[in-house]
Structure 1
């Protein structure tokens, strides 16, 4: 189980990481961040199974972050907080558990057991793209994709492990995965969860900031309203 820790207190993050190590094999600390915005980016980048989430953090607080994740393919959420008064709201948002600080090892183990049960009961359906790498046919999980760029007669898939060439057109891919790919430009599609924000250049062009890469593809004027709406919706 890959776990992401989100807490604005470095000592709290270190304590949770140490407790997770005591929970035995099968538990991996995939990342540790100090605010809600960084947690949102890390979720898109590393795809954790479980999020240990503080409530009072700078930027996006824990409750707001959990609200943005609700109803989407997302990690399981366990709140770790010093405050009791958000417990009802946390469970309404689908949290696995609500742990009060200082977090006890036995309570953390119980929360991990609950998270495993949920993950086993609702396995993710993985979609794959099939293309060619050095002449051989390979596949890549769609959740690994950063962006798809049209170049001459091929589509180049930028993913966490490198690049892949596809023979389908962007239009074919867009029609095949309407909920999993968003058009930025006539030559670019991205998974919506990769979108972090926008950058406007001095000449008026708008670029998209994506998690997992320094590449910033251009957003066309035609697609800009839809992209802004996606970002507002989180």
Structure 2
């Protein structure tokens, strides 16, 4: 008989802990949640005592935070698979993407949790078969994550939380071609299609690197690297033509000075 997998949840929000445990029971009934803790010190003690296969770990907790808990796991013979839980933070997400960790964003979305559970099943299976990340490798990844989290933060937006249909996605600003203000929202255009955000364009432009994004019209922001050429039509109106056949965008009279040195 296969030994049941175990998990521990550590988060200072009681409702989130309850919701996460409930959804895990629905989507991964074989996973036994052996403990649910509200602070880092209690979580660390239970992890050492119970040796769970998976730990759902909140980044920000009173006392010892989630990063410190993860770092302390170097003392364990077998490091559990870690899933960080965090409120939306562009820099944190960028760090998680670069390493062998999964993460969940608050508020939790069931579809994302289901995807995480599928990844976890495979990852834990590999670890039990001796093919997963070694303890030394896991510790090294935790140390690299710590260095990334402690380094000076990039002041410019790196990720945009946007919706596409009923789904919420994290769109890297590196994938954005242009943004256009519509009636009550802003459309974000990428090679993968169109996304929607509710932030006003005038607030969004303040968070974007001015060397990477130019506001070429009252309702339009374009990624500079996406511009293939600039041309005037027979009436004298200026347009930017986007690389990859993504069309053209009008340039307002006030913004034409941006292209004097192009």
Q: What TM-score does the superposition give when structure 1 sets the normalisation length? A: 0.48
Q: Which is bigger in relative contact order (C-alpha 8 A, separation at least 6)?
A: 1
Whichever structure has more helix as a proportion of its residues is 2
Rg comparison, structure with higher value: 2
TM-score (structure 2 length as normaliser): 0.44
